[in-house]
Amino acid sequence: MRQQPSSELLRVENLTKIFQIRHGFSTREFRAVDDAAFTLTAAKPEIFTIAGESGSGKTTLARMVLGMEQPSSGILQYKGRNIADLSLGEKRAWFFKEVQPVFQDPFAAFSPLKKIDHYLYETVHNYKMAKKSETDDYVNEVLQQVGLTLAEVRGRYPNELSGGQAQRMAVARALLTNPSLIVADEPVSMLDASLRMSVVNMFRDLKEQQQVSILYITHDLATAYYFADRIAVMLRGWIVEEGPVEKVLGSPLHPYTQNLKESIPQADPDHAWSSEVDLAILDTDEYTRKGCRYAGRCPHVMDVCRHTEPPNVTAQGRTVKCFLYTEEHAADAAPVQSAVDSSNH
Amino acid sequence: MPTIVEVKDLKAYYHTHAYGVQRTVKAVDGITLNIPEGQVYGIAGESGCGKSTLLKVLLGAHKPPLYVVDGSVRYLFDDAQIATLSLDENTLRELRWKQVSYIPQGSMHVLNPVRRIEDIFHDFVAAHQQVSKAESTQLTRTYLRELGLPEKVMAAYPHQLSGGMRQRVTIALATILSPKLIFADEPTTALDVIVQRGVIQILKEIKRREGSTFVLITHDLGVHANLADRIAVLYAGKLVEEADSRTILKKPLHPYTKFLIQSLPRLDDRSTRVSIPGRPPALDNPPDGCRFHPRCPLAVDKCRTVDPAMVAIQPGHRVACHVVTEATEEVRHAATA
């Protein structure tokens, strides 16, 4: 039972994280991640994007997958084993080797006072990834996977590297333990446009050549569309739409995803916006809202949305959490849908 | 189109002394540009290219270790021509917010956390005009309504507002005295896309309503495409290309601009995009000649030694590149021959 073979790399089911917020004597519940579900298969590595705005719960979800945060309820399994049940010893010996993080700011991830190759050797030593005499060769081999060489970085301090190089180092450090899953939380949002694509392309190569799955957490839908296979769009703790990236971003169904896609500023004067958007006034309104959390801003809001939580509906090759696509509302929704399309063009 | 800000051969350097070592960072090195009145003038560039330094000098807000070494900045208002760099503190104070305004990046840190929004507006307006609390509240209410902000925000404290609403309130605060010239430093960076769109919407609304001139600094070409009329591209402290935004985005000439635009991911195209090889130079020791030459695939010998000047390739389209200039001249010769 212990090492049950599993075709699933990561299984997330009904995953919920509740934070308690105390105001004096009253305590309020805050559902940062609410009933999230998705699965990554082990057989075929993929890049799975979790996209959302700030406060959507995407980082909390990533921290739970990394074992840094305890889920309040729900299932979170890595290769068939519950992450929450692992002892610290097991985590060190197995889980931390298998699942590695890459964070947003590479310069915050490395101490400015330490030489950067120190982190590589330390990781190899801690996880006993290579014999002492073979360490240099092993480190060099991994660095080449991210487009660097040991000669380039040996003895350097973090400030001597460009943002792109430093982020590559962070990825190289993660790759040293030969992980099956890399959790990358906004890995390119600190990088300049001219360096960003080199790191994004590197992730794509890693997936193809090293067979690493990548959980890519981002607010940037354009890079997600560029290199991800599947995407889950989060809104205030909910996954509102999940499916293949060409479908979800190519022709979004959920009104929120539609709004999100519309709002990406494109560097193309022919794609400038024509319509206006409504913004939420207060941040916290939407978490505590009854019914659908997007009801306050949704252009297609119906009565039922205001008091009942929408179900997850399978429609057009993806899952979408919206009443518009349930059977009883599908008939009403069709004209609304075409109205959106015509107003966008 | 009349010019409202005229910048001539501006050089602003950071001079630092540490442990007996003198270091000069040439953050703005010989920039000449004219900002037309009533337009949104975009300044694009990566981090460390000198765009924020340029903004500081344009605002007259530069302080040591930043020194203006050479050049001039003049505001050309209808009633006055003002040489910004030689103004004393009091005159600058008179000018600021009423004529020249500034929208900062981090709106969270600008609003007084222990005052309600209406009180913040009163403090602000009362510092520049003789107004009673009732008058300033009335002024604020009218202005917020005009900009489409909900009246609810007036009684709120800054921490109660969402990030986007806070940024929009900051923008309303910076523009309530109807300034002619508004400098915006990364006004939408670090905001969510929908919120960003809301902020761009309000900037457009202010421009339409007041006819103000905007100088918009951001690294995000998508924001420029939606807001700017003209775009100037900076690289390593120098202007490399300047044209109307459609030309920059659709038909750029400078190799750096071309690379920058090609490398952007798009929502209708998943083909492989390559980024520019190498990294931007450190500004305390920039390369000789054209500062882009170590990364440029077109570089010739001349690029390594001679610094290219901005040349008008077409009316309103200036480029600083030897290769582009020569190619254009050849075409001209061929046409005349």
Q: Which residues of A120-152 are buried (b: 16+ CB within 10 A; e: fewer)?
A: bbebbeeeebbeeeeebebbbebbebbbbebee
Domain that holds residue A327: 254-263+285-345
Set of chain B residues whose Cβ sits within 8 Å of the Cβ of A263: 193-194, 196-197
Both tokens of B179, joined, read: 């300034």
Residues A106 and A185 in one domain: yes
The answer as to whether A118 is a domain residue is no
Residues A232 and A98 in one domain: yes
**CA-CA-CA-CA dihedral for A140, A142, A148, A152, to nearest 10:** -30
Q: Are B180 and B99 in contact (CB under 8 A)?
A: yes
Most confident region among A190-199, A241-250, A292-301 by mean pLDDT: A241-250
Contact call for B220 and A265, based on CB within 8 A: yes
Residues A230 and A259 in one domain: no
Q: Give the ipTM.
A: 0.79
| pLDDT tens track, chain B, 337 positions | 789 999 999 999 998 887 888 888 888 999 999 999 999 999 998 877 888 889 989 988 888 889 999 999 999 988 788 888 888 888 888 888 888 999 887 766 788 999 999 999 999 999 988 999 999 999 999 998 888 888 888 999 988 887 778 888 999 999 999 899 999 988 887 778 888 888 888 888 889 888 899 999 988 898 999 999 999 999 999 999 999 999 999 999 999 999 888 888 888 788 888 878 777 787 878 889 999 999 898 999 999 999 999 999 999 999 999 999 999 888 888 887 7
| Contact A137/B at CB under 8 A | no
Cα end-to-end span (Å), chain A: 56
Each residue's pLDDT tens digit, A262-288:
888 888 888 777 777 766 555 556 667
Q: Residue B107 has what pLDDT?
A: 63
Contact call for B263 and A197, based on CB within 8 A: yes
- Which residue, among A160, A281, A345, would best test binding to B if mutated, counting the most B CBs under 10 Å from its CB? A281
Set of chain A residues whose Cβ sits within 8 Å of the Cβ of B245: 269
CA distance A120 to A143: 10
Contact call for B194 and A267, based on CB within 8 A: no
Set of chain B residues whose Cβ sits within 8 Å of the Cβ of A264: 193, 222, 267
Contact call for A193 and B260, based on CB within 8 A: yes
The answer as to whether A116 is a domain residue is no
Set of chain A residues whose Cβ sits within 8 Å of the Cβ of B250: 268-269
Each residue's pLDDT tens digit, B300-324:
999 999 999 999 999 999 999 999 9
Q: Are B154 and B117 in contact (CB under 8 A)?
A: yes
- Which residue, among A161, A201, A268, would best test binding to B if mutated, counting the most B CBs under 10 Å from its CB? A268
Residue with tokens 């490399």: B240
| Closest alpha carbon within chain B to A277 | B198
Q: Name the amino acid, one letter, at B282.
A: A
Residues A96 and A226 in one domain: yes
CA distance A11 to A13: 6
Residues A194 and A334 in one domain: no
User: How sure is the predictor about A1, in pLDDT bands with cuts at 50, 70 and 90?
Assistant: very low
Residues A14 and A59 in one domain: yes
Residues A28 and A83 in one domain: yes
Q: Are B263 and A196 in contact (CB under 8 A)?
A: yes
The answer as to whether A194 is a domain residue is yes
Residue with tokens 């399994």: A77
CA angle (A239 as vertex; A236, A242 as ends), nearest 5: 150
Q: Residue A341 has what pLDDT?
A: 44
Q: Which residues contact A163 (CB under 8 A, 6 or more apart)?
A: A106, A107, A190, A191, A192, A195
Q: Are B197 and B117 in contact (CB under 8 A)?
A: no
CA distance A32 to A76: 16
Q: Which of B248, B260, B227 is nearest to B318 (CA)?
A: B248
| Closest alpha carbon within chain A to B269 | A226
B311 CA: distance to closest CA in chain A (Å): 25
Residue with tokens 């910076």: B174
pLDDT at A100 over 60: yes
CATH code at position A231: 3.40.50.300
Using CB atoms within 10 A of its CB, is residue B177 exposed (0-12), middle (13-18) or buried (19+)?
middle
Contact call for B225 and A266, based on CB within 8 A: yes
Q: Closest partner residue to B193 among A223, A225, A264, by Cβ? A: A264
Compute and round to an integer the Cα radius of gyration of chain B.
22
Residue A311: asked if its preceding bond is cis (omega within 30°), the reply is no
The answer as to whether A64 is a domain residue is yes
Residues A74 and A197 in one domain: yes
Number of domains in chain A: 2
